Structure 1
């Protein structure tokens, strides 16, 4: 019976494989009008049976949790048979085109995509280059996301290079292969005249495609990027890539990145490489996106793969996927020697201030911040500071707490590195699936040997973190340098007289000052463009003082009375405890060591 079942299973697998081999999908990309920001897409399909085919375009890009409605950029959709017979087609929903195939054996679909949005997650084309973010370019046949696909790229006449993580198809110029659409959608393509250089790190060949000019030093980048990659590979013990591509877009002022399976897209400021802070910022971005090779692209929450490209994919664990990655990007730079201990502690302090000085930290729990990323993280408004917290910043701090607690509980034998490696080994390498929140918590407690219920309160509740409970374990303490001082707060952020935001609980909040109000005068004195007059008034005032405020709201003059509240903003410092035990000193050395164990 068992033998018969195995034979049946093998027969079914063979049948599926043959069917996949008979079905074929290929694309041909060209650029007839790059100056007008268009991509021409030709899609050929054969071996599909039925009276119609539904072609779908994703509405979001994995790694960027917002419905971006990519189909809005598609136009001139048409379909024909192999003998040029026009086939009827129409849209049946916002991202699905139905083609009436009439059982034709081969179908050719043509459409254009308008691409003119500068970001790491959206396509951009002009007369100098083309960046193709695949989820906004390629359609798939509904129900056949696992179908292999080829892509031929026809560069514009003056372009000479193509950079992508996709495999090259031998003996087919400028043609690339993806084993399925998940891989295709995770493989951005850069076409133009980018400056390309390579280096080896962790046994993997890495290609860097520099798009646009910049004052970068190739040899310095090769050395420093390789060092980051080596240290990150040490965390997990294995680098799963055979080849990796960095696509770097250099702008007058640029930033941000988006991770992919064996590539990443980075935004950079073209003349910032010779500035020390700018250079370290770029290396931090490299460290962040490359750490995603393991954390999120392979080790992932269960909701993040296989993807549903038609709607939101909800998870409460982006604080692990993005927050821990944000913790490691600075920690890796510390380990690699780019930051001394003092500089690294200042970075941690800045993260703490960013979280604790934000009113939204006491409104939105961290787990909900992750779940609501689709409607809040990428859609900030004037009230976001009062209603939400970032799973990047606070997630990084939770990573620090778990690291410190684990080091203390195991007397320095284990830390967050061991937790991440254990998770990677179990859920990616052994089980080949995503993890649940409960499974993550269980693994932390298994490695640390203690409960982390205390830390999970900071994940699931909107409450201030008692950092010193954890920092004291390594002989450090967090102090508020403004502790005990009563500093009056007006409570708004101004830009050329205009109110841009109002702080929850401040005097301005209680007085009813609105965003978009024009602040004209306070206590009879005209407010200048840069707000120095308001600073002078506050310097001479005390908490509880009443101010007479004149604003213009939609052209109507309003007079308001504002009672100055006490500022709840903190100015933090991480410093050594006055008395440090040998045990604390040892754990601190392990935590902040330049060389990991």
Structure 2
């Protein structure tokens, strides 16, 4: 899942460690059985006047708001002499100390009981800490050094990208601090060394918390190594990690939420499962996606997310690239690493093509619009019903099929690849850590192809506009067929139907252009009859769908306790799939075989 974060260029740790941190936290877990932590925040050289501290409302890699302030309470403030002083809650997540000495201490209790890439979980098994969900901070002191002292059980170890010195964990500023999750548990550690072309040697580590046999962990480590190597091949080298190490913080437990969240020198991967044996494939899929973010997002950063604002939702016009192109590579890398077969890779692409090409939202709005909607949909909460089925298509999969179109087009027209494009963006905007604009991405494509006209047309058509590439022709070059997946049945729509008391109820907004929509039916309506035949449950629906497209039926339905009638016309099922020429009984030429190998083959 996932998630974008940018921050100020990293400061040298040697310099800031020489000075004592201005803000020091102490965290203890005496009441872990009930999901509580006790946190104190000691602040030196407090500015004169009213002093504000607050909890965050957003988190690195998330774009919608999250009210982390709801889970802190028992907030107290003290002067350096230990005397308690007044602290006022002036907003839901903001506290004000009206009068204070030059040093100040604030204590509070934190509740946390959700293991994912955004929130905090505290229990007797481990302490899983995402910083915005855990720590109050001072808006006036965002550039100051911070440190943490953890008081933990003797059998627990601490894993984080923060720097350890003399028992304290340091961050040079708030941006880096908030981007540094922590896993505290009796975890298993696996590490190996990777060397860049310039001789730089760095460590990759797997921090694993959960059940799993030694043989499974060894096999898992081998597969993660392959993923790392395949992704390095796209860009040429690994990024230069701030401490010469990158950590996968992986947690598999039955009570977890499945998630993945990228960070600068680490990533959180959580999975619901009994053990690694049953969860390995899902974890590896997340590894492939999140590790690609080590380049694309953590160092290749859109200007619209620079710097990250923890007080509000963060909107970007480039998530189709940051998340969508990463989604494409996460799938492709699994094939190149031989974790997926070529058919499985293409089947996934077919599912994405079906979802986007048949989406009213994607046929009406651009990938930029979808990127900007992330402030509402990225784990955002809506109490009222939305019209997302008609206006939204995930920027992950919209961006994925855009990447697919560009990759296949570059290969066919220019003898280039999407790997070449990603590497070009990396050299200009990743290694230099200069945040990019959409214009920068377009210009880089123009330079790669030596065609301003191609780059301009591609961006106007597929990024700023809503046109869709000729995927049928593009995929045919690789020996794959894009076709309707079900030609034997008619279609009334993809609306969600449930059975209630032997009747069918529409529970999602009617999809624009579907027979249900055109018949004036919508969420909340109960279908009673087609013509004079009672709709006695979901099991009877396939018999109705045997009707030829164009057939009209009289629909009797109930709305607000009243019976109504309307006319509905069955349509052809528009759902799509991608299959190989082999499965379609078509010839595969040597040129097709070579194209596939160059596209999906191992790069090491």
> Please, what TM-score do these two structures have when normalized by structure 2?
0.86
Query: What is the CA distance between 1:194 and its match in structure 2?
Result: 3.1
Cα pair distance change 1:547/1:534, threshold 3 Å: farther
Instruction: Tell me the equivalent position of 2:391.
Output: 387
Name the CA distance, whole Å, in 2 between partners of 1:436 and 1:511.
44
3-state secondary structure, aligned to 1:210: strand
Instruction: Tell me the equivalent position of 1:348.
Output: 349
CA contact (8 A) 1:213 1:270 kept: no
- Candidates 119, 123, 132, aligned match of 1:122: 119
Cα pair distance change 1:566/1:207, threshold 3 Å: same
Name the CA distance, whole Å, in 1 between partners of 2:603 and 2:67.
45
- Candidates 45, 48, 51, aligned match of 1:47: 45
Query: What is the CA distance between 1:465 and its match in structure 2?
Result: 3.3
Name the CA distance, whole Å, in 2 between partners of 1:245 and 1:572.
37
Instruction: Tell me the equivalent position of 1:398.
Output: 402
Q: What number of residue pairs does the alignment pair up?
A: 567
Instruction: Tell me the equivalent position of 1:187.
Output: 180
Q: Mean alpha-carbon deviation: is it higher for 437-446 or for 67-76?
A: 67-76
Q: CA RMSD in A?
A: 2.9
Name the CA distance, whole Å, in 1 between partners of 2:490 and 2:363.
21
- Candidates 109, 113, 116, aligned match of 1:112: 109
- Candidates 566, 574, 581, aligned match of 1:561: 566
CA contact (8 A) 1:25 1:150 kept: yes
CA contact (8 A) 1:511 1:563 kept: yes
Instruction: Tell me the equivalent position of 2:250.
Output: 248
CA contact (8 A) 2:489 2:547 kept: no
CA contact (8 A) 1:116 1:125 kept: yes
Name the CA distance, whole Å, in 2 between partners of 1:197 and 1:409.
44
Name the CA distance, whole Å, in 2 between partners of 1:183 and 1:561.
59
Equivalent runs, 1:353-502 vs 2, <5 Å: 353-379=354-380, 383-411=387-415, 414-430=416-432, 432-450=433-451, 451-456=454-459, 457-474=461-478, 476-481=480-485, 487-489=490-492, 492-497=495-500, 498-501=505-508, 502=510
3-state secondary structure, aligned to 2:258: coil
Query: What is the CA distance between 1:177 and its match in structure 2?
Result: 1.2
Does residue 59 in structure 1 map to residue 57 in structure 2? yes
Instruction: Tell me the equivalent position of 1:8.
Output: none
Name the CA distance, whole Å, in 1 between partners of 2:547 and 2:379.
39
Q: Mean alpha-carbon deviation: is it higher for 571-580 or for 113-122?
A: 571-580
Name the CA distance, whole Å, in 1 between partners of 2:115 and 2:20.
39
- Candidates 132, 146, 151, aligned match of 1:135: 132
3-state secondary structure, aligned to 1:573: strand
CA contact (8 A) 1:23 1:47 kept: no
3-state secondary structure, aligned to 1:594: coil
Query: What is the CA distance between 1:140 and its match in structure 2?
Result: 2.3
Query: What is the CA distance between 1:122 and its match in structure 2?
Result: 0.9
Name the CA distance, whole Å, in 2 between partners of 1:572 and 1:258.
30
Name the CA distance, whole Å, in 2 between partners of 1:198 and 1:23.
30
Name the CA distance, whole Å, in 1 between partners of 2:544 and 2:472.
36
CA contact (8 A) 2:296 2:322 kept: yes
Instruction: Tell me the equivalent position of 2:575.
Output: 570
- Structure 1 unaligned runs (5+)? 1-12
Query: What is the CA distance between 1:524 and its match in structure 2?
Result: 5.1
> Please, what TM-score do these two structures have when normalized by structure 1?
0.87
Instruction: Tell me the equivalent position of 1:151.
Output: 148
Instruction: Tell me the equivalent position of 2:516.
Output: 508
The structure showing larger relative contact order (alpha-carbon pairs under 8 Å, at least 6 residues apart) is: 2
Name the CA distance, whole Å, in 1 between partners of 2:55 and 2:280.
37
Name the CA distance, whole Å, in 1 between partners of 2:476 and 2:456.
19
- Candidates 11, 32, 35, aligned match of 1:34: 32
Report Cα offsets for 1:303-329 as digits up to 9, x if no partner: 222212112332210011100110111
Cα pair distance change 1:347/1:28, threshold 3 Å: same
Instruction: Tell me the equivalent position of 1:225.
Output: 224
Name the CA distance, whole Å, in 1 between partners of 2:185 and 2:589.
59
Name the CA distance, whole Å, in 2 between partners of 1:364 and 1:377.
18
Equivalent runs, 1:303-314 vs 2, <5 Å: 303-314=304-315
- Candidates 525, 539, 545, aligned match of 2:552: 545
Query: What is the CA distance between 1:581 and its match in structure 2?
Result: 7.5
Cα pair distance change 1:541/1:129, threshold 3 Å: same
CA contact (8 A) 2:147 2:169 kept: yes
Cα pair distance change 1:256/1:49, threshold 3 Å: closer
CA contact (8 A) 2:227 2:337 kept: yes
Report Cα offsets for 1:473-525 as digits up to 9, x if no partner: 54555333557x77242553212334222222223223333323444554455
Query: What is the CA distance between 1:208 and its match in structure 2?
Result: 2.5
Cα pair distance change 1:300/1:176, threshold 3 Å: same
3-state secondary structure, aligned to 2:362: helix
Instruction: Tell me the equivalent position of 2:97.
Output: 99
Query: What is the CA distance between 1:559 and its match in structure 2?
Result: 3.2
Name the CA distance, whole Å, in 2 between partners of 1:204 and 1:19.
22
Cα pair distance change 1:193/1:273, threshold 3 Å: closer
Report Cα offsets for 1:371-404 as digits up to 9, x if no partner: 1210234447563222111110110111122222
Instruction: Tell me the equivalent position of 1:4.
Output: none
Q: Mean alpha-carbon deviation: is it higher for 435-444 or for 490-499?
A: 490-499
Q: Mean alpha-carbon deviation: is it higher for 491-500 or for 255-264?
A: 491-500
Report Cα offsets for 1:530-553 as digits up to 9, x if no partner: x111222332565332133333x5
Query: What is the CA distance between 1:21 and its match in structure 2?
Result: 4.1
